[in-house]
Amino acid sequence: MFHKGKLVIFLGSFLIVLYGVSAAFYGKLVARDEAYKELSVFMEVLKKIDDDYVEAPNMSNVQEGAMRGLIDALDPYCSFLSKQQYEELQKRKADGKAGIGIIISKRSDVVSVVSCERDGPAAEAGIRPGDFLIAVNGQLVEDKSILEVDSLLHGTPESKVKMTIFRSSKTKPFDLELTLKSQTKAPVSSKMLDENVGLLEVSSLADVEQAKVKLKTLISAGAKKLILDLRGCADGTPSDGAGLANYFMREGMIYYSQNRQGQRIQVIEAAPERFVTGLPLAVLIDSSTAGAAEIAAGALKDQKRATVVGERSFGVGSAQKTVQLKSGAILILSTAKYYTPSGKAIQDEALHNAGILPDVQAPDDEKRQDLAVESYYGEQEDLGKYRQLQEKIEKIQLDKALEILSKEEAPVRKAA
């Protein structure tokens, strides 16, 4: 009887514990039920394909296609690469790093050109930001990841690449053949303008330390006010963008990243030892400003360190991790988004919310339309019209930045 009583007590305690644990897990299961309710439908579709398709299907290919579709539905920076695709991508990377001078992304599931390197092969051939890429060397790219497409546009110097482009102003796609070139132009340049205004032009953040050297050169040359030109700058890492902003900020938050639970997983603050100058500052951005440059512009704007002038930037701001699956396939998954100090997400599915909105829009919508009409009726050929229009827009933006800086007082230099 004694042993039987102990057994009853043990079983009762076990059931109570089991109930508690089950209740805890039940809450999670209910929460996840919505996310997985379509799994049975997916499995049913696979079974129907396997059973009833008109030919014996290659189920491995079917499942890989389903995986790519699943990942593509998330955001443009998530990717699924089969083992073979990943090996091919790595091989193309090893073949050479020469390119055509463009940064690409996806908009509405179509590969689009974010920015073109000034005087690079793409710009010289007439490719423009906003163009859509349909095929590379005869391969359709609609179902390829950004990583795959970018690798197709790189290779050994002087090799050729054929691109099929669609432009909204044209009625049908057109082909261009370009020669791959290694980047030769310095990504950062500087010059002195009138009234002791120093202009720091950063077209690439591949070497943020070069921007520091050029900035110090401007200050040594007597600059009392500064313009940071980030138009067309669309590469670099978040730390590059933070480093650039830090040159103009002694303290304060630069950006933070946040996961799906709303938790801040990384907060980046300015480091006093990396600060260079507190001179009055204006920042130029446009629709081709993306990624690291947006982190810099967003920080300088939110911390009231600079007046941002130009157009809304592109909107690239998420962190990815790479996971190697048992099959050898690679999964690249976005795990966090980047935010400016005020809590503005740089990347947003709603295009009207994406990117950094300038403090001062230049040119305004009415002026831009007037310029477009004026350019359309000009006598130059199509490429010439486009370049002339861009030059006018860039001058309006620069003039507006100079106008804003003219109203700010330069600091008085103390005698040594």
Is there a contact between 186 and 199 (Cβ–Cβ < 8 Å)?
Answer: no
Domain boundaries of the chain, sorted by first residue: 63-179, 188-319+336-406
The one-character DSSP state at 181 is B
The pLDDT score that the predictor gives to residue 378 is 55
Query: Residue 369's pLDDT is what?
Result: 83
Question: What mean pLDDT comes out for the span 362-389?
Answer: 77
pLDDT for 139: 92
Cα gap 385→374, rounded to integer Å: 9
Question: Out of 15-24, 154-163, 252-261, which region has the weakest mean confidence (pLDDT)?
Answer: 15-24
Q: Assess whether pLDDT exceeds 50 at residue 45.
A: yes
pTM of the predicted model as reported, rounded to 2 decimal places: 0.84
Q: Is 2 a residue whose pLDDT tops 70? A: no
Concatenate the DSSP letters of all residues of 352-379 into one string: TTSSPPPSEESS-HHHHHHHHHHHHTSS
Decide if pLDDT at 416 tops 60. Answer: no
- CATH, range 63-179: 2.30.42.10
In terms of Cα–Cα distance, which of 180, 73, 163, 46 is closest to 112?
163
% of the chain residues with pLDDT over 70: 87
Lowest mean pLDDT among 21-35, 120-134, 339-353, 400-414: 21-35
Identify which has the larger pLDDT, 12 or 93. 93
Q: How far is CA 256 from CA 48, 196, 207, 295, in A?
A: 46, 35, 22, 10
**Class for domain 188-319+336-406, per CATH?**
alpha beta
Q: For 144-195, how does the pLDDT look when each residue is reduced to its tens digit (9 = 90+)?
A: 889 899 999 998 899 999 999 999 888 899 999 999 998 766 789 999 999 9
| 294-343 tens-digit pLDDT | 999 999 999 999 999 999 999 999 999 999 888 888 999 999 999 999 99
Query: For residue 90, what pLDDT is reported?
Result: 85
Tell me: pLDDT of 118 over 60: yes
Q: Are 149 and 136 in contact (CB under 8 A)?
A: yes
Residue 112 CB partners (closer than 8 Å, separation 6+): 104, 105, 106, 130, 131, 132, 133
Q: Which of 289, 280, 277, 187 is nearest to 233 (CA)?
A: 289
**Distance between CA atoms of 306 and 401, rounded to whole angstroms?**
10
Distance CA 211, CA 247 (A): 9
Calculate the CA 302 to chain-centre distance: 20
Strands 225-229 and 197-202: parallel
Six-digit token string for 96: 């050479």
pLDDT at 28 over 50: no
> pLDDT-based confidence at 377, cuts 50/70/90?
low
User: Is the backbone peptide bond immediately before 363 cis, with ω within 30 degrees of 0?
Assistant: yes
Q: What is the mean pLDDT of the chain?
A: 85
**190-227 tens-digit pLDDT:** 999 999 999 999 999 988 999 999 999 999 999 999 99
User: How close are the terminal C-alpha atoms of the chain, in Å?
Assistant: 98
Region for 107 from its dihedrals, namely left if φ exceeds 0, alpha if ψ lies in -120 to 50, beta otherwise: beta
The pLDDT, as a whole number, for residue 406 is 93
Tell me, what's the pLDDT at 5?
46
What burial letters (b/e) apply to 259-270, b meaning 16+ CB within 10 Å? eeeeeeeeebeb
CA gyration radius, the chain: 27
